[in-house]
Amino acid sequence: MRTSRTKAFLSSGVVLVVLIATAGLAAAHHSFTAFNMTDEKSVTGVVNRVEWTNPHIWIWIDVPDAKGATYGFEGMSPNFLERRGWTRTTLKAGDKITVSYRPLRDGKNGGMWMTGKMETGKILTGGGGRDGQ
CA distances from 70 to 48, 54, 76, 112, 114 (A): 8, 21, 20, 14, 17
How many angstroms separate the CA atoms of 90 and 113, rounded? Answer: 15
Q: What distance in Å separates the CA atoms of residue 48 and residue 89, rounded to the nearest whole number?
A: 13
**pLDDT reported for residue 31:** 73
Q: Which three-class secondary structure state does DSSP give residue 102?
A: strand
Q: Is residue 123 part of a domain?
A: yes
Structural domain count of the chain? 2
- Stronger pLDDT, 24 or 102, i.e. the higher one: 102
Residues 4 and 61 in one domain: no
In a domain, 111, yes or no: yes
Decide if 77 contacts 56 (C-beta within 8 A). yes
Burial (CB count within 10 angstroms: exposed 0-12, middle 13-18, buried 19+), residue 41:
middle
- Domain ranges, residue 11: 1-31
Same domain, 114 and 52: yes
Higher pLDDT, 116 or 129: 116
pLDDT of residue 17 exceeding 70? no
User: In this structure, is residue 115 part of a structural domain?
Assistant: yes
* Strand blocks (E) in the chain: 41-51, 58-62, 70-74, 96-103, 110-118, 123-125
- Both 64 and 112 in one domain: the answer is yes
pTM: 0.71
pLDDT in tens, 25-79: 444 455 778 888 889 999 999 999 999 999 999 999 999 876 779 999 999 999 9
**pLDDT by residue (tens digit) across 76-119?**
999 999 988 899 999 999 999 999 999 999 989 999 999 999 99
Question: Distance between CA 106 and CA 84 in Å, rounded?
Answer: 31
Is 128's pLDDT higher than 50?
Answer: no
Cα angle vertex 74, ends 69, 77, to 5°? 150
- Is pLDDT of 2 > 90? no
